[in-house]
């Protein structure tokens, strides 16, 4: 009889949070969730708008001509989730 793969049920809240954040980031930036997860790893510790903007420009996902609103939304996401991570 074939056995089904087993998965660990010990998903950490941090992994769940990363999944949720990368989903929201993908929506904000118009990229796929895998790409957003990589971007998140690069920006989650940043604190200023300039740092976030520079990192997003380096990835090529966001360009200044895309408008300022997505950048502000991403910055709010970073700030909201860095607060959650430091409080847990």
The answer to whether residue 7 sits within a structural domain is no
The answer to whether residue 19 sits within a structural domain is no
pLDDT digit string, tens, across residues 17-52 = 778 888 999 999 889 999 999 999 999 888 898 999
The answer to whether residue 16 sits within a structural domain is no
Domain that holds residue 83: 32-87
pLDDT digit string, tens, across residues 5-17 = 443 434 444 666 7
Binned at pLDDT 50, 70 and 90, residue 83 comes out as low
Contacts of 17-20 with C-beta under 8 Å, sequence gap 24+, read 17/81, 17/84, 17/85
Report how many domains make up the chain: 1
The answer to whether residue 27 sits within a structural domain is no
Look up residue 32 and give its two tokens. 């796929």
The answer to whether residue 77 sits within a structural domain is yes
């Amino acid at each position: 009889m074939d056995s089904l793969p087993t998965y660990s049920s010990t998903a950490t809240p941090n992994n769940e949070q990363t999944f949720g954040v990368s989903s929201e980031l993908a929506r904000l930036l118009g990229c796929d969730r895998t790409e957003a997860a990589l971007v998140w790893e690069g920006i989650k510790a940043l604190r200023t708008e300039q740092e976030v903007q520079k990192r997003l420009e380096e990835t090529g996902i966001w360009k200044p001509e895309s408008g300022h609103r997505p950048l502000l939304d991403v910055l709010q996401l970073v700030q909201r989730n860095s607060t959650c991570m430091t409080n847990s």
